[in-house]
Structure 1
Amino acid sequence: MSEEGLSRRQFLAATGGTAVAATLAGCRNGSGDRESPAGTDDPTDSEASPTTATVDGWPYGYDRPRPEKAAEVMEAAGYGPDNRFELTLTQYENEAWNQMAQLIRDRIGAAHVELSIESAGLSALTERGRNGTLQAYTYGWGADYPSPQNFLQLIYPPNTDYSQPDATGSFAFWTADTPAAERARSAYERVADNPEPTESAQSTRNEAYVSLEEATWAGLPVIPIFHQAIEPMWYDHVDYPVPGAMGGFRQKYNTVSLAEGSRLEMIASGMSGFDPIVGVDSESGAVVSQVFDTLTNYPEGKTATEQLLARGFETSDDYTEYTFELVEGVRFHDGSELTAHDLVYSWRRLAESSNSGRRRFILDVLGVTHETDDDGNVVPGSLGVEAVGNYRFRVTLERPFASVLSLIAYSAFAAVPEGIVGDVEGYGGEMDQSTFATNPVGCGPFAFESWSQGEAAEVTAFGNYHGRSPSVDGVRWQIIDDGTARYNYFMNRNADVAGIPTPQYDPSLLTVERTDDLGRQRGTYGPVRNGETLNWARVPTLTTFYIGFNTREVPLPVRKAMAYVVDQRQFVETVFKDRFVPAYHLTPPLLYPGGASAYWKHAEPGD
């Protein structure tokens, strides 16, 4: 997987959501819950069939550390005062994670583990993880599309072996022939063998998902720590629709309105470019969401998709062919009309361009048919996409895939004008890729205006947008890297919507007024430093943070000792000021088979 492919999911996760969590606080499922594909993808419905659990709750001390059990398991394995295991925990440079690591070190020492703590930047941590030179590490994963499979592929044993070129899972190297690894392998293959968007296939997948979670508990390639939540705050003059679990950077701002001013003012910690096929950071992704449209969309960042550029679709009986009817009259920002030929070019560019950092989503995850040459590159023109006239776009898959409609809402599948960049064979190009990445042209509700790296980015309302016209004239992001400076900028009323960084966050100022059916809390925060009381929301997102292990380097008794001294709830409440959700599964509660109630029923031990 390319470094670009890591940049949203794993950068967001590893940094504690620098782009979203630090600014607002801190990339779905398939085809419905019936035997034919549904019009929208809602994981709260489609992945909710009953499952059978075989383990009575999180086995390592639910909501309390058990250092005596940690010592017991280590001593049974032959460790003791004169035979201590030396373990290094490598984490992203983050003060909260460092505080958590110190709590673990204070406890695990009594279990004959000598824990050293070191920090590393994301690139170095990722490279070392791939090279197998980490022992234990902190990391995380944010959803590309809302399905348990997107999380549980992290612990599919072959996908954790980075001696293989296509590995994209955790850095676990979990390939030893153990009962837990074999159970995980078998369960994941049941998922892969039942990809159809039908009730019966979903039931099989759901059983396998639970089995994968329990295999993780047994083998501990990773220890889940918490699921992220974002906390956007905004002043009273802003009518701000609260985003869904896909996060604010998937939200289109054409639904925001202002009682004062005409331009929505936001804050970003940094941006890197806006070409949708290149892996971008979360805050660049927020700009991409405004400029570009896809066939389907996560409305306001919610997980249930709706049609956007598509006005309808049909499938073949075996679910390997999708034909989309396009909305007619859609205009790109350069004035040209969207046709199926633009989508053929856009998807070919995702698969064929040397600039693409996201090709695995179209080739491996979605599985569009294609041919490859001797070097593994897609043979130009072989991709299974075609224009059937001007307003019908056909896609052919190698196999059924349950999450087609949600995956293609991902920005990598965005429509761009045919031939605008000359990085696909047969197209000369109007501009080079570097120019397009800094002056993008899409058909979204806002047209790109400007970007000054390290200073600001701006988009303006597009008057010929095919959907709901923006209520604001534009959106501007002030780029501020320092958390304290971002806080001051917000307190000076220079931003309409932002968040309170954790160091400045005071839980006593929070009043929770209600919780909606998506688990989003609403209320107020304040009065803050400037005397205002802010509107506040807490939105559980599809992100899981964990401690991972190289299982070749760290024996199972040591991994168990770590699990026994970890206290997920204490870490959330004291280290992260109760802003997140304790995690006992890789799969977030919203996506867990049966929903949040089934998640907690499975995690909490019985009487």
Structure 2
Amino acid sequence: MDGEDGEDGEDGGDSGPTYADQAQAAWERAVENPLPEDEDLRQEAYVEMEEAVRDDAVLTPLYHGFTELFWYDYVDVPLTGALGKHWQQLNTTTVEGDDTLNLINSTFDELDPIMSTDTASSIVITQIYENLTEFPNGVPEVENQLLEEYEVSEDGTTWTFTLKEDIQFHGGGTVTAQDVKYSWRRTVESANSERATFTLNQPTGLGIDVEMDDEGDPEPDSLAVEVIDDQTLEIQLVGPNPDVLSIIAYSSFAVIPEGYVDDIEGYDGEVSHDEFSTDVANGTGPFELDEFNVDEDVSVVRNDDYWGETASVEAVNWEIIEDDQAAWTYSLEQNADRFEMPTFAYEADAIDAEEDDRGRQVGTYGPAGDLEEEVNYLGVSEISTFYFGFNASNTERAARQAVAYVMNKEQIVQEVFAGRGTPAYSFLPPAIWPTGQDGYESFLEDYPYGLGESDSQGAQTVLEEAGFTSDSPTEMTLTTYESEVFQTAAELIRDLLSGTGLDLSLETSQFSTLQSRGEDGELQMYSLGWIWSWPAVPYGMFQLEPLNTNTSVMPEETNGFYLDWHTNLEEEAE
């Protein structure tokens, strides 16, 4: 386990580069080589970062999110992919004997694409609005949507987009490049936008160039988006970005008619922003907004003039139900045609499924419990990771490794999360592993802490080598947010560490308090998760760049995980 990163090296001694040095060098190599021909180099660099994270144990993944969907046999709905159902347009779904698709959703209070930060609103927005690109049914393979073709300059900083012709908005009028420019201007100029960073920053967004005023706000109409003609626009980036097509599929880049809303300079607007948030919508999607009653229900109706495949159903209705028992009762009564199942009603033995060519579990569920009939079943490992992070400046590496040794992730997922997760051995989910499935399997073969088992002897050995025993232990505190399942997982890990030379104390915290303490560098070990908004490796890995984990300047200058891994860089320690 010590490899090139011995105890002296970790403190900036003469034993060679630390794991943090290796991760920092790999990140810089990936960022400095962004062109398409450099893809293999970037992918290898990201794997090197994963190896450094693993071997230094500054972050121990627990599980990747696993979503299960159930639907009655009278419904025919395409299977969703690893990005989730909120990417799925429902125009190809059919309901035998009914012209309405009935579903359940969580609460949300806006339908403006630049305000959407949750899957609940995205589920509806995807039916109404469209982007230049898309991930059909949430499968992580980008395709053109409103885009006909594109060109990229040799240096990778200028992208030219040509739009499909004769695509109509719900309210009339044809989609033009001016509409795209206006829509993307709103992401950075509107006071209502929640996603300016997705437009302006790299590598966590596009990185479109813009002029800033003295207060750090974008100058009106300075975003580097140029309309060439009605069907063509060009964007200028601050640096090459190989993930442009994936990023512009995100809902904040959806296209609305130029000047439709009154929230950026130069436009009076056809509607006020308050109206646009909940009362009216004007997109190009297969459905049009019918009615939105916040905290009650949402309905959309078929767009009969849709440019693509016209919807089979006349309408889709979502009932807003937050209570698990109420949602389950609603589903059992067949008021919801496709639904999720609360853990209290879930019986893993009732699943009869096989893995398809995308790694999804596809089959049937039931009858079981209160569900008196067999229904269709889909289980998908999603592009998300829930993990335990460690502040490297507040913890011993041996203690971090000991936690990794004792964690039987299969046991935790089965006993604590009722099997509703995929045990994680890397931060990056397998669906977006940089070197593909074979590369991921190779990474697993080299996993040093043991797969599917709790290795208390390994934990005890690594602690003894660092001078810690059951009689003279090191101490560490694990902070979890107020989640019953994560608290239970923490208790299990604490018990597995008993007698190894590491005394683990547990505490809980409100989510916002945990975040504040993390940014202040006050945590030792903590639980959090990361969900990818699009399947681009750097969108997650930027948080593991050691220099970006410096909590002393967070969040103003850094926005990584709360690791303070930069303290292990040789140049920082000298």
TM-score (normalised: structure 1) = 0.69
Match of 2:209 in 1: 369
Match of 1:578 in 2: 419
Report Cα offsets for 1:333-378 as digits up to 9, x if no partner: 2112211110010011112212111111111121111111122211
| Structure 1 residue corresponding to 2:329, chosen from 480, 488, 494 | 488
Report Cα offsets for 1:359-401 as digits up to 9, x if no partner: 1111112111111112221111111112212111221212111
Match of 1:559 in 2: 400
Match of 1:277 in 2: 114
Match of 2:103 in 1: 266
Alpha-carbon RMSD across the aligned residues, in angstroms, is 2.3
Match of 1:422 in 2: 262
Report Cα offsets for 1:541-564 as digits up to 9, x if no partner: 111111123334344343233223
Moved more, 450-459 or 428-437: 428-437
Asked if the contact 1:492/1:530 (under 8 Å) is kept, the reply is no
Shift of 1:533: 0.3
Q: Distance in 1 between matches of 2:175 and 2:137?
A: 23
After superposition, the Cα gap between the structure-2 partners of 1:468 and 1:218, relative to the gap in structure 1 and judged at 3 Å, is same
- Structure 1 stretches lacking a partner, 5+ long: 1-53, 57-75, 77-176
Match of 1:182 in 2: 21
Q: Distance in 1 between matches of 2:98 and 2:17?
A: 62
- How high is the sequence identity, in percent, across the aligned residues? 39
Moved more, 211-220 or 360-369: 211-220
Match of 1:546 in 2: 387
Match of 1:442 in 2: 283
1:203 counterpart SS class = helix
Q: Distance in 1 between matches of 2:322 and 2:391?
A: 33
Q: Distance in 2 between matches of 1:467 and 1:525?
A: 33
Q: Distance in 2 between matches of 1:476 and 1:361?
A: 30
| Structure 1 residue corresponding to 2:161, chosen from 324, 335, 354 | 324
Match of 1:16 in 2: none
Q: Distance in 1 between matches of 2:178 and 2:433?
A: 38
Letter in 2 for 1:239: D
Matches within 5 A, 1:500-511: 500-511=341-352
Query: Is 1:453 paired with 2:294?
Result: yes
Asked if the contact 2:109/2:295 (under 8 Å) is kept, the reply is no
Asked if the contact 2:385/2:427 (under 8 Å) is kept, the reply is yes
Asked if the contact 1:269/1:482 (under 8 Å) is kept, the reply is no
Matches within 5 A, 1:168-207: 179-198=18-37, 201-207=38-44
1:255 counterpart SS class = coil
Q: Distance in 1 between matches of 2:257 and 2:390?
A: 45
Asked if the contact 1:197/1:401 (under 8 Å) is kept, the reply is no
The number of equivalent residue pairs is 435
Q: Distance in 2 between matches of 1:510 and 1:462?
A: 37
Moved more, 290-299 or 211-220: 211-220
Q: Distance in 2 between matches of 1:451 and 1:479?
A: 10
Query: Is 1:314 paired with 2:151?
Result: yes
Query: Is 1:463 paired with 2:304?
Result: yes
Greater RCO, 1 or 2 (C-alpha within 8 Å, sep 6+): 1
Shift of 1:485: 1.3
Shift of 1:606: 7.8
After superposition, the Cα gap between the structure-2 partners of 1:222 and 1:209, relative to the gap in structure 1 and judged at 3 Å, is same
Matches within 5 A, 1:258-407: 258-364=95-201, 365-407=205-247
Match of 1:43 in 2: none
Q: Distance in 1 between matches of 2:390 and 2:383?
A: 22
After superposition, the Cα gap between the structure-2 partners of 1:465 and 1:568, relative to the gap in structure 1 and judged at 3 Å, is same
Q: Distance in 2 between matches of 1:341 and 1:527?
A: 54
Shift of 1:593: 2.4
Letter in 2 for 1:344: K
Letter in 1 for 2:19: A
Letter in 2 for 1:412: S
Q: Distance in 2 between matches of 1:449 and 1:556?
A: 56
Query: Is 1:525 paired with 2:340?
Result: no
Asked if the contact 1:253/1:290 (under 8 Å) is kept, the reply is yes
1:233 counterpart SS class = strand
Shift of 1:448: 1.0
Match of 1:598 in 2: 439
Match of 1:171 in 2: none
Asked if the contact 1:544/1:586 (under 8 Å) is kept, the reply is yes
- Structure 2 stretches lacking a partner, 5+ long: 8-15, 449-574
Moved more, 184-193 or 213-222: 213-222
1:590 counterpart SS class = helix
TM-score (normalised: structure 2) = 0.72
Q: Distance in 2 between matches of 1:349 and 1:576?
A: 41
After superposition, the Cα gap between the structure-2 partners of 1:454 and 1:606, relative to the gap in structure 1 and judged at 3 Å, is closer
Match of 1:218 in 2: 55
Asked if the contact 2:430/2:440 (under 8 Å) is kept, the reply is yes
Letter in 2 for 1:435: E
Moved more, 236-245 or 321-330: 321-330
Match of 2:512 in 1: none
Asked if the contact 2:104/2:336 (under 8 Å) is kept, the reply is yes
After superposition, the Cα gap between the structure-2 partners of 1:501 and 1:449, relative to the gap in structure 1 and judged at 3 Å, is same
Q: Distance in 2 between matches of 1:197 and 1:265?
A: 43
Q: Distance in 1 between matches of 2:17 and 2:60?
A: 18
Asked if the contact 1:224/1:586 (under 8 Å) is kept, the reply is yes
Shift of 1:471: 0.8
Letter in 1 for 2:26: A
Asked if the contact 1:55/1:214 (under 8 Å) is kept, the reply is no
After superposition, the Cα gap between the structure-2 partners of 1:404 and 1:230, relative to the gap in structure 1 and judged at 3 Å, is same
Q: Distance in 2 between matches of 1:435 and 1:317?
A: 44
Q: Distance in 2 between matches of 1:580 and 1:319?
A: 38
Asked if the contact 2:58/2:389 (under 8 Å) is kept, the reply is yes
Report Cα offsets for 1:282-322 as digits up to 9, x if no partner: 11110011110000111111111111111112222222222
